[in-house]
Structure 1
Amino acid sequence: MTHPLVKRYNLAPHPEGGFYRQVFRSENETSSYIHGETRPALTHIYFLLLKGKVSRFHRVLHDEVWNHYEGAPLQLFQLHQQQLWERRIGGQGNEYAEVVNAGNYQAAQSMGEYSLVGCTVAPGFDFADFSFIEEPAMKQWLDIAHPDLAKFI
């Protein structure tokens, strides 16, 4: 059975896990400060994670802002040079936004039945700027140092 929000917002499966739909893609273009390629100035998606599903560790080459819209709080992990931290967005006592700095790996899960969030990337998102953890040494470090996070790899 499909979650009602998947139908309501016309969401599709995302390669990292969860469901998404791009709701804004700027017509203005800019050059990436990372590689010089042309990108939209800004993009924004709806992103839905359901209970028991995860957004696998991945990175985007540009800054990304996560905003909580509805549902349970979202647990968001960031990883940079073997430094791992966790934030929760949404719900009582938590912020409603979190910034993932350009190039940091990120992973997430809902802390309840579902979490609906928005993700904004500038310069805009392009799958050419997206990657999963591929380095065997980093996967091994996560397995040893944080075995509880294996489901996010």
Structure 2
Amino acid sequence: MDQLKDNSILTLIDQFQLSPHPEGGWYREVIRSGLTVKRSDGHQRNAITGIIFLLGKDDKSCWHRVDGADEIWIHLQGSPLSLWRLDPNSNEIVRLKLDTAQPMQMIPAGFWQAACSQGSYTLVSCCVSPGFDFDDFKMLRDIPKECWPEEALSELI
């Protein structure tokens, strides 16, 4: 991992005690509400969860989705972030940008999403409500290729 030679990346990983995330990049959960809610599908989840998430210049947040929960991305520091949102019903893909001028974006429940930094690194916070659970997390690369949305950018798989 060449980016680990970059002191700013090493410093942030150390400062926030980040670990590798299955979708790519580095993360640590920092918030998990004690309040629980019952989703419409009957599953109980914490009301909200939040992570700190770091993408270096060579990292990518590969196509994934969170079923049953919306995700809000919040730009904290570093370069702008490219965030793609792919509607699973219409196959419409939208490229969103997070930076100091537009620091927040939301990905609706069940939408495919992927991201990458537009520079040396991007530090964001991601908040999920109802709270994140890996049981609701799906990676595009883990489902049969014939089920992949046609519009999913292959470099982000």
Q: TM-score, normalized by length of structure 1?
A: 0.89
CA–CA separation in structure 2 for the residues paired with 1:41 and 1:107:
24
CA–CA separation in structure 1 for the residues paired with 2:78 and 2:32:
25
Number of equivalent positions: 145
Whether 1:124 aligns to 2:128 is no
Q: Which stretches of structure 1, 4 residues or more, deviate above 4 A after TM superposition?
A: none
Whether 1:17 aligns to 2:24 is yes
2:92 matched to which residue of 1?
A: 83
What's the secondary structure of 2:148's corresponding residue? helix
2:55 to 45, 49, 59: 49
State the identity as a percent: 39
2:112 matched to which residue of 1?
A: 105
CA–CA separation in structure 2 for the residues paired with 1:126 and 1:83:
26
CA–CA separation in structure 1 for the residues paired with 2:74 and 2:122:
11
1:31 matched to which residue of 2?
A: 38
Q: Please report how far the alpha carbon of residue 122 of structure 1 lies from its aligned counterpart in structure 2 after TM superposition.
A: 0.5
What's the secondary structure of 1:65's corresponding residue? strand
What's the secondary structure of 1:141's corresponding residue? coil
Structure 1 residues 3-61: Cα deviation after superposition (integer angstroms, max 9, x where no partner):
2100000000000000000000000101123x211100000000000002100000001
Query: Within 5 A, what are the aligned runs for 1:138-153?
Result: 138-139=147-148, 141-142=150-151, 149-153=153-157
Q: TM-score, normalized by length of structure 2?
A: 0.87
CA–CA separation in structure 2 for the residues paired with 1:140 and 1:116:
28
CA–CA separation in structure 1 for the residues paired with 2:18 and 2:155:
23
CA–CA separation in structure 1 for the residues paired with 2:149 and 2:124:
30
